[in-house]
Structures are given as structure tokens and as C-alpha cells.
């Protein structure tokens, strides 16, 4: 039994303090603009469209919550948070392309390739990945070079062929095909989980050394929870509520937790995973309250 209880409402209140600083840091990260590129292409506009679109900033907030637990400086955490959201935006832009999920709607807005064409969307995603790394090696990020290297190791491990890109490759390779429950967990653990886990770890890496093993257990369970909730929402909510096309997974005959477990058991699984998250945080005591609240928020989100 965990000593902590999570509260989605408390998380919303905590998160609301951070939303404006996060958006400001994202905007700042996009502000280094070459005039020739700006005048001769819509690349910067496409990048901004992909990043500044009212996202929930779960990865940024995860980094901030873990970093605060480790007493990390807010300024460094905001830069790390921006880098993580750049990576997330890059992955969504590429995921929405016609050769991938072919989606036209994202957070209620036209996807980047619908607004700017496929070529500019491809390049905007490419450049956002680069700029995520650029943020983490910037001289304005005040931390020892060795810490920056540690952050870059965590990020590059999480998003490459053995992480996010690998999970996406498994996903697109199995549209219309069966995956075992274990294979599906592996796929999601890479595709969605790896970046979320990296967000938590990178936040912690910005601060004082705590034992990171409990955080890694929490991160693993939270990543799984996040994906199961995504599947439940895709199967049970309207496009209007989600801000993206609902029912796409079923329509594309994709393997999902809802398809594997049924809607009711998938919902029950969310609650089990939520309790696992709380249990994992026990060693950290009350310092972990924002992470407990983050888990409650993820378990209870409706879009």
C-alpha cells in the first residue's frame, strides 16, 4: 500500500503554474531563425505549427515533476522540457504523414503536412529533432558538460532505432497483422513509453542524485498506463473530444489493448497500473507528490 494518493485536480493546479513558462521556452527555442530560410521557405512556420498547438505537454511536465523531486533548477528543467516537446512534436509530425498514419487532424487543427505540404512537414520534423539536441548542448543551458552528455545519452537511447523510432517501425509493419500481447507491450514500450521514461529520467538527471531505480519502475508503469488510456480513449471518445480522428486504430485494424483485453478489462488495467505507479514512488516519500498526481492525471484524462 502506497503512502501517497494522487490527485488529477492537484496535478492540474500544479501544471497550470508551469504552462506559460513552458510555452515561453518553446517559443524561445524556435526563435533562432535564419533570415534566408525564413524568407524563402515556410519551414519555420511549419515547425511552429507542429510545436505551438496547445499540446498537453505531458513530457515537459513529467520532466519538471521528476526534476523538482530532485531539487533541479527550474531554468535548466524548462530547457530540457522544451527539448522533449520538440522531440514529441517531431514524432507527431512524421507520424501524421500520409506514408505513416495519414492523419489530417491533430489537436483540432490541420496536421503540418495538410497546412504546409509533405516536404515541409518532413523537414520540419527533421529540424525539430536536431533542435532538441541543439537545446541540450546550448551554452545557455547552465550545467556541467558531463550532465549534458548524460542527458543526451538518455534522450538518444530513448528515441532511436532501439527506442521510439523502433517502436514506430514495429507499429507500421503490423497494421492489419496480429501482434501477441507481449509484442504489443514491447512496441508501445518503445514507441510511446521510451520518451516518457526519458522525460522523467532527464528531469531527475538535472538535479541531486537520488536512487533512480524506483523512478524507473514508476516510469515504466506510467508509460504503459499512458498507452492503455490512449487505446481506451481512441475506442470510446469522439474525434471532437480528442481533437484528433477517433476510432482510427480499430479502423486501421491495429493491435490495441482494447482489442486484446476488451474495453472493461482495459479500464481495470489502467487502475492496476495507477496503483503500481503509486507503490513505486513510496521510497521518495512526499517529495514525489507531483509524480503521484501526474499518474492520477494520466489515468483520468479524457483526451
Q: Min. distance of Cβ 215 from a copy of itself in angstroms? A: 21
Pairwise CA distance, residues 278 & 251, whole Å: 34
Q: Among residues 180 and 272, whose Cβ is nearest to a copy of itself?
A: 180
Burial 186-204 (b: 16+ CB within 10 A, else e): bbbbbbbbbbbbbbbbbbb
If the CB atoms of residues 177 and 302 are measured against a copy of itself, the closer one turns out to be 177
- If the CB atoms of residues 197 and 284 are measured against a copy of itself, the closer one turns out to be 197
The least distance separating a copy of itself from the CB of residue 222, rounded to whole angstroms, comes to 20
Residue 125 C-beta: closest distance to a copy of itself, Å: 8
State the residues that interact with a copy of itself by CB under 8 A: 32-34, 36-37, 40-44, 47, 90, 94, 97, 99-100, 117-120, 122-123, 125-127, 129-131, 133-134, 137-139, 144-146, 148-149, 152-153, 156-157, 159-162, 165-170, 172-174, 179, 183, 186-187, 190
**Angle ∠(182,188,194) on CA atoms, nearest 5:** 120
Burial of 56 (0-12, 13-18, 19+ CB in 10 A): middle
Smallest gap from Cβ 150 to a copy of itself, in A, equals 9
SS3 109: strand
d(CA 275, CA 29): 36
* Nearer to a copy of itself (CB atom), residue 147 or residue 275: 147
Nearer to a copy of itself, 142 or 286 (CB): 142
| Cell representation of residue 274 | 495507477
Minimum distance from residue 174 beta carbon to a copy of itself (Å):
7
Residue nearer to a copy of itself on the CB measure, 29 or 203: 29
HSE-up (13 A, CA, CB side) for residue 51: 33
Our CB check for a copy of itself shows the closer of 47 and 246 to be: 47
Q: How far apart are CA 177 and CA 157, in angstroms?
A: 28
Query: What distance in Å separates the CA atoms of residue 213 and residue 3, rounded to the nearest whole number?
Result: 18
Largest separation between any pair of C-alpha atoms in the chain:
60
Least separation in angstroms between CB 196 and a copy of itself: 17
Q: Is residue 48 within 8 Å of residue 34, measured between CB atoms?
A: no
Minimum CB distance to a copy of itself, residue 155 (Å): 8
* Reduced DSSP (H G I as helix, E B as strand, rest coil) percent helix, strand, coil of the chain, to 5: 75, 0, 25
- Residue 106, strand partner residues: 109
In the complex with a copy of itself, the residue whose CB is nearer, 115 or 233, is 115
Interatomic CA distance for residues 270 and 235, integer angstroms: 15
Q: How far is the CB of 153 from a copy of itself (least distance, A)?
A: 5
Hey, what's the cell of 18? 508551469
Amino acid at each position: 500500500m502506497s503512502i501517497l494518493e494522487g490527485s488529477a485536480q492537484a496535478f492540474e493546479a500544479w501544471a497550470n503554474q508551469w504552462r506559460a513558462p513552458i510555452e515561453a521556452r518553446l517559443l524561445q527555442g524556435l526563435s533562432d531563425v535564419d533570415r534566408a530560410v525564413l524568407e524563402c521557405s515556410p519551414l519555420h512556420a511549419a515547425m511552429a505549427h507542429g510545436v505551438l498547438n496547445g499540446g498537453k505537454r505531458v513530457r515537459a511536465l513529467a520532466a519538471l515533476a521528476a526534476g523538482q523531486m530532485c531539487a533541479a533548477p527550474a531554468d535548466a528543467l524548462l530547457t530540457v522540457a522544451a527539448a522533449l516537446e520538440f522531440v514529441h512534436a517531431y514524432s507527431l509530425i512524421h507520424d501524421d504523414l500520409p506514408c505513416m498514419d495519414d492523419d489530417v487532424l491533430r489537436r483540432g487543427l490541420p496536421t503540418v503536412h495538410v497546412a504546409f505540404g509533405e516536404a515541409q512537414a518532413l523537414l520540419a520534423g527533421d529540424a525539430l529533432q536536431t533542435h532538441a539536441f541543439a537545446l541540450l548542448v546550448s551554452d545557455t543551458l547552465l550545467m556541467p558538460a558531463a550532465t549534458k552528455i548524460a542527458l543526451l545519452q538518455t534522450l538518444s537511447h530513448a528515441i532511436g532505432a532501439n527506442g521510439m523510432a523502433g517502436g514506430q517501425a514495429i507499429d507500421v509493419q503490423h497494421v492489419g497483422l496480429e501482434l501477441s500481447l507481449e509484442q504489443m507491450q514491447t512496441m508501445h514500450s518503445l514507441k510511446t513509453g521510451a520518451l516518457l521514461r526519458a522525460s522523467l529520467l532527464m528531469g531527475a538527471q538535472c538535479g541531486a542524485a537520488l536512487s533512480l531505480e524506483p523512478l524507473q519502475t514508476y516510469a515504466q508503469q506510467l508509460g504503459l498506463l499512458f498507452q492503455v488510456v490512449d487505446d481506451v480513449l481512441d475506442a470510446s471518445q469522439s474525434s471532437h473530444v480528442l481533437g484528433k480522428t477517433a476510432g482510427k486504430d480499430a479502423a486501421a485494424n491495429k493491435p490495441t489493448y482494447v482489442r486484446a483485453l476488451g474495453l472493461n478489462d482495459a479500464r481495470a488495467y489502467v487502475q492496476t497500473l495507477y496503483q503500481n505507479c503509486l507503490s513505486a514512488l513510496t521510497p521518495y516519500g512526499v517529495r514525489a507528490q507531483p509524480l503521484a498526481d501526474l499518474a492520477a492525471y494520466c489515468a483520468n484524462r479524457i483526451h
